[in-house]
Structure 1
Amino acid sequence: MRIGDLPRPANLPASFGQQALWVIDRLGGPGGRYVVPMALRLSGELDVSALDAAVKDVVTRHEALRTLIVEDNGRLRQVVVPAQDASVRLTLIPEDLSGSGGDAAEERIADFVRRGFDLAADIPFRAGLLREAGTEWVLVLAVHHHAVDEWSLPVLLGDLSTAYQARSAGREPGWAPLKMQYADYAIWQREILGDPADPDSELAQHLSYWRNALADAPEESTIALDRSRPAEPTHQGGDAEFAVASETVAGLRGAAQRNGVSMFMIVQAAIALTVSALGGGDDVVIGSPVGGRTEDGLENLVGYFVNTLPLRHRLRPDDTISELLGRVRQTVLDGLAHQAAPFEHIVSAVGVDRSVARNPVFQVMLTHQNLSGGPDPLNLPGVTARQQRASLGAVKTDLDIYVDEAQHTLTGSLSYATDLFDPGTAERFLALLQRTLTTIATRPETRIADLQVLFDTDVSSVGGWSVGAGVVVPAVTVDGLIRDQVVRSPGAVAVVDDADGGVLTYAGFDGRVNALARLLAGRGVTVGDRVAVVLPRSVDLVISLTAVLRAGAAYVPVDPGYPAERVAAILQDSAARVVIADG
């Protein structure tokens, strides 16, 4: 079934992506949090009336740019505003208001892109033009994310260029009609994926993969916070930019070729290592938008096709960076194979606890764009265009990382939640990310455990922590301390059972520990072995853990509430000689 084959119903359904963004919009936060901004500095003899007409042409061509999201009786639908009714104009900033310096211009750009949209009432597109001086201009476009994604921007700017060239020559654009529109994609998407409750549907099969891939993933996957997470975040953000040195970029390209990975995979690995080093643990989930344009005919269409994949990276200290890159490659490829599952459905399938305080599944997001090899998407005759970053002053997650890959450069920016982090923490994150990328480029055989994560100032601080008088600590064991206590006070209470109020004295506790330790020894348990203990919290659990230590072994605690597959995996990995259980 091809997109466009299905008839349009009277009520056009919202796509899964639009539905998710509508929910986020209802949760509040800065109005511009999900606005996609573009700011382009123009220099030359600009035909303002032609540009105004071109803006209208582009909005007429792409239905997504004049689509509202409306709720009716608990269901969302798209309402496509007829082209003749879509009142979109190029907003002009009068010259006498824009001549007060660069700071004023930047403030006006920020105000323009940060202003939100009413999804049920506002056309999700606006364009503004600031005249700085003479033939110097700034073209500012702000589009709500439900109508556009990052991969739509070259299409939008390319069509804007075509329309401007035609209008400045006194004619209408001569482009071929589009074979489909975004609403056709939304209809097709819901039909092709099917019902997640149907085990034979395509969506159910994709969700099965994500359920397994994210089983027992950490509840939070982020760096150490400077402040406690507020119950109701403001979603306000600070920004920092970075650029990777050219020699490092060349080294990364060599590492990519040798390891059979893309630059996106390398950046994924570097961010996972950086997050881990800054308090994220050895199990890191990073969210990454993917284009979602897997069907023919979508490449020339503006719309929100993007989906976000939660890519999970398990970091093993003994692995080399090259070995990690191999696993990241497989993780990314497997995720892309199942990218059709909408993120909101993944969250529901995994059973993640929802909280307004944080993004579900992941709290660090990487948006990677490959800008290599393509011409400048905005081509206005007699005008040179240079793109600049436009800050939204807002974040989607704890850390939003944007990376632009060109043929010889790797640049980007970091937006960080000011609720959680200070500017110094953001700078530290970027500095460590740069160091990690340099290591990947120059020493890919470095073990993860040997990565240098401390800077000189950190080394001095750590050294300062250890200054002071030495303390002599006796060489004792847990079992030795218990035996000493038994000798000192055999009749004292050692363990209390909350369930029935029963108590064990140290003498009674010691007797039961001895009996179990002898039983373990009789089963062949000796020094250095592992014993799995599959017991709920109870007196028996305390006795068992102590008996394992007395037998000279190490205990492997296993929660009996784990799924059977998880328990089996722990037992296999630990190579436990015996298992202590209550049934």
Structure 2
Amino acid sequence: PDGAARVPDTAAPVPVPGDAAPDPGQGDGPARRDDHLAPASCAQQGLWFLDQFDPGQAQYALPLAFRLRGELVLPALRQALDGLVARQASLRTTVLDDDGEPRQQVAPARPVPLVVEDVSTLPEEAREAELRRRLDDEDRRVFDLAEGPLFVAALLKTADQEHVLLLNAHHINFGGWSLGVLVQELSKMYGDAARGNAPCPVPPAMEYTGYAEWEHDWLRGDDCQAQYDYWCRRLEGLTALELPTDRPRPSSVSTDGDAVRFQLSAKLRADIVRMSAEERVTPFMLLLAVFQIVLARTSGQRDIAVGSPMANRPLPETQQLVGYFVNSVVLRIDLSGDVDFSEVLRRVREVALGAYENQNYPFSRLVAQLEPARDSARSPLFQVMFVMQEESWEQADWHGLSVELMGSPATTSMFDVTLSVSMSAHGISGDIRYRTDLFDKSRMERLAADFEHVVERVTRHAGADLTELLA
């Protein structure tokens, strides 16, 4: 579960960790299909079974809020939303119970109901309170996977030249890379419609249902077995990360959460990019190394494993699809020994490249097959997540509108701690989402400060001693 805002997942489309390029050489998939029961992908199966086990949970809602400044052409926005949903079948897909197994059903394209509310006449304080309330409501939205819809839209007019567009999708049909696809297509269709050209969405070469069918075939092949063998070797002897908590860990997992947000300067972003090039790593790898050092400092452990979402789009036809492709991988780093930060980066690079090459093996299937010791108070294999994406969607042309992606409220947390960072031309923004039944905000604020401090230290000197960084 990806995850920027909350959709990281993290992202051209929004890239997922380390700019991992999909493998274009795995052949064509099945042709398009529509309005029938189709297999669910492995990722969808995992979320569907969770929903069956514990229905009515909101942590898999992925709300997006865009602040639109300028002269909005409302009919053009309606046309663009209709065109987007007509082109992207995942946005009109529900997931049904077919004799105990999840199956996808794609509905015919229809106009998207867009509720428009004018709150611009309210006093400023009341207007902001209403906006926060609506954002909180979307963050807590509970979707019915069988009945749908699993994609909804609303528009708030907050001033004469300002609106807030609220979109929300269930994670079962949406992932981090999908944000970039959605913004690029929605902005283009809006621009076309605003210029008087009705959007004419071209059907994609493959729909998500076709990818799910391809995946079921892939699971029976040799490459699938080789990836499973890789993860068995990588995860042998893995122990849980034990971060100090402010309260005893309850007997079952809670999803109540909050977030601490922080900002790294444009100068520090430039230092990160420079050092990454010098050390032959990506910014993702460098920031992952820093985060794992901070976790080691905090926990006292030296074998540190975190989860991270991967793009998992192995077919060229999937690059411009909205859908739940993202797959979690475990990035396990050995921080023992008398070494410097450059050696840590070398270790992280080796681990990350191995994960990229083996990112297609479904995480839910791996958990089921490895059968780790189950603990109802912890998520399996990892309890901490690291997410990074580039905000390349900022270059989208909205026909004169200034568009800002607003941060979503943090009322839920799927893991003990999730660090999300987004790179833009202005710097690096980050947030640490955490479980409030375990941690106080002050502890997470210290974690954010430690992260920035270590980034500053290592970008000044790649030869910094690991022992000193861990002290």
So what's the TM-score if we normalise by structure 1? 0.72
Name the Cα RMSD after superposition.
2.1
Q: Give, in angstroms, the shift of residue 259 of structure 1.
A: 1.2
Deviation, structure 1 residue 260: 0.6
2:131 is matched with which residue?
A: 105
Residue 491 of structure 1 corresponds to none
Q: Distance in 2 between matches of 1:161 and 1:8?
A: 25
- Match of residue 203, structure 1, among 224, 227, 230: 224
Residues 211-246 of structure 1: per-residue CA shift (max 9 Å, x gap): 01000010x224212112112233111111111133
Give the corresponding residue for 2:10.
Answer: none
List per-residue Cα deviations over 1:122-173 (Å, max 9, x = no partner). 1211111111121211111111111111111111112112222233344421
Structure 1: give runs of 5+ residues left out of the alignment: 195-199, 454-583
3-state SS of 1:297 partner:
helix
Instruction: Output aligned runs, 1:504-543, within 5 Å.
Output: none
> Does the CA contact (< 8 Å) of 2:83 and 2:189 recur in 1?
yes
Aligned to 2:8: none
Secondary structure in 1 aligned to 2:255? Answer: coil
Note if 1:93 corresponds to 2:117: yes
**Are 1:430 and 2:465 counterparts?**
no
Runs of at least 4 residues off by over 4 Å? 5-10, 96-99
1:399 matches 2:417:
yes
Q: d(CA) in 1 for partners of 2:128 and 2:253?
A: 32
Q: Does 1:217 align with 2:235?
A: no
SS at match of 2:169: strand
Q: Distance in 2 between matches of 1:446 and 1:165?
A: 50
CA distance in 2, matches of 1:201, 1:7: 27
> Partners in 2 of 1:452 and 1:362 — Cα distance?
21
- The answer to whether the aligner puts 1:42 opposite 2:68 as a matched pair is yes
CA distance in 1, matches of 2:168, 2:459: 37
Q: Among residues 75, 100, 123, which one is paired with 1:74 in the alignment?
A: 100
Equivalences for residues 160-559 of structure 1 within 5 A: 160-194=186-220, 201-218=222-239, 220-279=240-299, 281-371=301-391, 375-377=394-396, 379-407=397-425, 409-451=427-469, 453=471
CA contact (8 A) 1:221 1:280 kept: no
1:25 matches 2:51: yes
The 1:432–1:8 alpha-carbon spacing in structure 2 relative to 1, beyond 3 Å, is: same
- Over residues 236-259 of structure 1, what are the superposed CA-to-partner deviations in whole Å (9 max), with x where a residue is unaligned? 111111111333322222221121
Between 1 and 2, higher relative CO (CA 8 Å, sep ≥ 6) is seen in 2
What is aligned with 1:479? none
Ranges in structure 2 where 5+ consecutive residues have no aligned partner = 1-26
Contact 1:211 1:349 in 2 (8 A): no
Deviations 1:363-404 (A, max 9, x none): 1101110235x6533x32232111211124101100011110
* 2:305–2:330 contact (8 Å) kept in structure 1: yes
The CA deviation at 1:177 is 2.6
- How far off its partner does 1:22 sit? 1.5
Distance 1:168 1:7 in 2: 31
* Alignment length (residue pairs): 443
Describe the superposition over 1:476-531 as per-residue Cα deviations: whole angstroms up to 9, x where unpaired: xxxxxxxxxxxxxxxxxxxxxxxxxxxxxxxxxxxxxxxxxxxxxxxxxxxxxxxx
Judge conservation of contact 2:31–2:205 (CA < 8 Å) in 1: no
Q: 1:450-482: CA deviations, max 9, x gaps?
A: 1265xxxxxxxxxxxxxxxxxxxxxxxxxxxxx
Residue identity in the other structure for 1:301: L
On the 8 A contact 1:39/1:388 being kept in 2, the answer is yes
One-letter amino acid matched to 1:272: Q
Change (3 A) 1:53 1:113: farther
| Residues 314-338 of structure 1: per-residue CA shift (max 9 Å, x gap) | 1114111110100000000001111
Which structure has the bigger radius of gyration? Answer: 1
Which amino acid is the alignment partner of residue 104 of structure 1? E
Q: Which residue of 2 aligns with 1:566?
A: none
TM-score, length-normalised on structure 2? 0.89
Q: Deviations over 1:171-227 (max 9, x none)?
A: 421343311111110100111221xxxxx6322221111001000010x22421211
Q: Contact (CA 8 Å) 2:32, 2:205: kept in 1 or not?
A: no
Alpha-carbon distance change, 105 to 224 in structure 1, aligned in 2, over 3 angstroms: same
Give 1:103 deviation, angstroms: 2.5
Contact 2:329 2:363 in 1 (8 A): yes
Return closer, same or farther for 1:437/1:202 CA change in 2, 3 Å cut-off: same
